[in-house]
Amino acid sequence: MVRTAENTSSESIEVQIARMGEAVETFILPKDATVKDALNTAGISLETRVKVDGAEVNAEDILDDGDRLVISAKVSGGRY
């Protein structure tokens, strides 16, 4: 399934979002879209851990065409 962000310009990028236990989804986003834009389009909370091509990224990082975002829950430390 391909979803398109609202107000996309003629120049766009295609990214994939993979969530644990779910099918990989493809999204068409405006060129210069950020990780935050992709998460918002997919309806995913910003309180998640996101990796792009194996590297952890920040919400304001710019995505490139063909990037694959892997989403997982943030794990915080605890006591033994």
Task: Answer yes or no: is 78 within a domain.
Answer: no
Alpha carbons 73 and 80: distance in angstroms, whole number: 20
What single letter denotes the amino acid at residue 31?
A: K
Give how many domains the chain has, as a whole number: 1
End-to-end CA distance of the chain: 43
Residue 13 lies in a domain: yes
Give the domain extent around 55. Answer: 2-73
80 is a domain residue:
no
Asked whether residue 22 is domain-assigned, the answer is yes
pLDDT digits (tens, 9 = 90+) for 13-57: 999 999 988 999 999 999 999 999 999 999 999 999 999 989 999
- Judge whether residue 4 has pLDDT over 70: no
- 51, 70 Cβ separation under 8 angstroms: yes
Residue 56 belongs to domain with CATH number: 3.10.20.90
Please indicate, yes or no, if residue 65 is contained in any of the structural domains: yes
**Looking at residue 2, what is its pLDDT?**
44
79: in domain:
no
- More confidently predicted of 77 and 38: 38
What pTM was estimated for this model as a whole?
A: 0.79
